[in-house]
Amino acid sequence: MRKTQYHQALNFLSQFNSRSMNRKNGFHHQIMWDLLELFSINLDQFKFIQITGSCGKGSTAHLISSILTYHEYNHGLFTGPHLTRYEERFSCNGQLITNEEFASIVIEIEEKLKFYHLEHEVGHMHVMIVIALLFFQRKRVELVVFENGVGGKADPSNVIDPIIAVLTEITMDHAHLLGSTIEDIIIDKSCIIKHSTKYVICGMNNVQARNYLLKIEAHDESNYLFMNRDYVYLIKHSDESGSIFHFKGEHFRLEDQRITLIGNHQVQNASNALAVIDALMYLGYNFNIETIQFALKHVQIACRMEIVEKNGVKFLFDGAHNILELKTLKENIHSLKLTISDIILSISSNKDIAKMLGSIDFKEAIYHITPHPFHERNLSQKEINNSIEAFENINYLYEPDLLKIIHNIYDQSNSGKVVLVTGSLYLVGYVKDFINNSTKKGT
């Protein structure tokens, strides 16, 4: 596959970054159905583990996939967003889609969409789903671990009929699309539960969300597994190397299980993944306890409370992008006794910047606020200034040149410096990639 074909694929996808999706009267679902027919994709050939929620769905998806991979179950994994390359979203049995496979599929999509009369209504997520399903189709995958985009009903993927529906932690996020209350949000997200769904994993602490799902459970034929009711976990120890915890489900229990993922919230995500394994056991899948333990111990997920030390500076990368995730991030930083000296932060235009800043308030830190990597999601400097005025004694700099921010941080005294990079997975991926490459080149 020539580089020109790969660049052609990227160029084609770039047009979707600025498109908004028409969700009125389920129009985005009709577009998805049209695309499935156009590309001869039969959803019945797949068995889906579909994951939605406000926080932790990506980590939960990776944890499930790791366990399936070590048990040699042929499966696909779809996640989003990516850090630096689209290919990160699509994998089969632990292996990312290759550049050649990716470009081939995208170019096929480009050619066929030329003959689709509603091509202008196709959104970014529509295309990502088609890429994933064509890839899994070519790999003859049956079992698919699928991370939703925004919500449940609000996402084009609501055409999927999962055998297992997973709902991770719920908080106020994407209110402009999902609604202004927790109940609005859980109503939208719970639409992934279909009549054919065998098990529903309810992995959240939010009381309102749990109460709503409890009401559904009372008259639903699906089997519901609630965290802290049907499966439980206990954190024994947590530090910069990860966590040790106990887990108890219906089919198995784990004692002193180690994960290298940092933060108490990752134990919650791991427990939700283990609840999915419990549900798969109900459905006839076989798992070995020792293999589960080994798989969890070796899971690594980039830019989720990931610490990287370069040129004497300790960088903490985390893609937290809503208020609860930022609060959780702050709690984990305090529990690890890390002193944050600088924060590189980007906030999307559909977020409340004042509440976001209030959630990640480190009094002694210098805030380096930079535009969102996607120009379409940028907040203006004026909007940022107006929001920051509500905070007293906050030391911040607005700098559109991200590379200049990084160089300025390096130019300062690096003794004991801990730099937090957060607010957007795209941002943390870009910064991490730049730091790794600049170190290799000695710059």
Instruction: Measure Cα distances from 27 to 114, 126, 158, 194 in Å.
Output: 20, 12, 12, 19
pLDDT tens profile 44-77: 999 999 999 999 999 999 999 999 999 999 999 9
Mean pLDDT of 412-419: 78
CATH number at 27 reads 3.40.1190.10
Spell out the residues 6+ positions from residue 411 whose beta carbon is closer than 8 angstroms to its own: none
| In a shared domain, residues 331 and 424 | yes
| In a shared domain, residues 357 and 426 | yes
Q: What domain range is 410 assigned to? A: 306-441
What per-residue confidence (pLDDT) applies to 271?
A: 98
Measure the CA–CA gap between 343 and 361, rounded to whole angstroms.
10
Structure tokens that stand for 181 in this block: 């209350």
pLDDT tens profile 320-368: 888 888 998 999 999 888 999 999 988 776 667 777 877 888 888 988 8
Three-class SS of residue 42? coil
| In a shared domain, residues 109 and 248 | yes
What per-residue confidence (pLDDT) applies to 175?
A: 54
CATH number at 426 reads 3.90.190.20
SS (H, E, C) 185-200: HHHHHHHHCCCCCCEE
Structure tokens that stand for 125 in this block: 């997520």
Cβ-defined contacts of 378-385 (< 8 Å, 24+): 378/349, 379/347, 379/348, 379/349, 379/353, 383/353, 384/347, 384/353
From 297, 314, 338, give the residue that closes a domain: 297
| In a shared domain, residues 100 and 216 | yes
What per-residue confidence (pLDDT) applies to 17?
A: 85
Predicted TM-score of the model (pTM):
0.91
Mean pLDDT of 158-179: 83
pLDDT band at 443 (very low <50, low <70, confident <90, very high): very low
| In a shared domain, residues 330 and 278 | no
| In a shared domain, residues 242 and 221 | yes
**pLDDT at 79 exceeding the cut of 80:** yes
Mean pLDDT of 432-443: 68
**pLDDT at 376 exceeding the cut of 60:** no
Measure the CA–CA gap between 250 and 351, rounded to whole angstroms.
40
pLDDT tens profile 95-152: 999 999 999 999 999 999 999 999 999 999 999 999 999 999 999 999 999 999 887 8
Average pLDDT taken over every residue of the chain? 90
| In a shared domain, residues 256 and 140 | yes
| In a shared domain, residues 240 and 357 | no
| In a shared domain, residues 293 and 320 | no
**pLDDT at 377 exceeding the cut of 60:** no
With a pLDDT cut of 70, the percent of the chain lying above it is 91
| In a shared domain, residues 76 and 202 | yes
Lowest mean pLDDT among 60-64, 83-87, 239-243, 394-398: 394-398
| In a shared domain, residues 76 and 171 | yes
- What is the domain count for the chain? 2
What per-residue confidence (pLDDT) applies to 411?
A: 76
From 250, 270, 297, give the residue that closes a domain: 297
pLDDT band at 414 (very low <50, low <70, confident <90, very high): low
| Closest alpha carbon to 200 in 213, 187, 185 | 213
Measure the CA–CA gap between 407 and 409, rounded to whole angstroms.
5
pLDDT band at 185 (very low <50, low <70, confident <90, very high): very high
From 297, 321, 356, give the residue that closes a domain: 297
What per-residue confidence (pLDDT) applies to 349?
A: 61
| In a shared domain, residues 97 and 37 | yes
Mean pLDDT of 307-316: 88
**pLDDT at 236 exceeding the cut of 70:** yes
What per-residue confidence (pLDDT) applies to 287?
A: 98
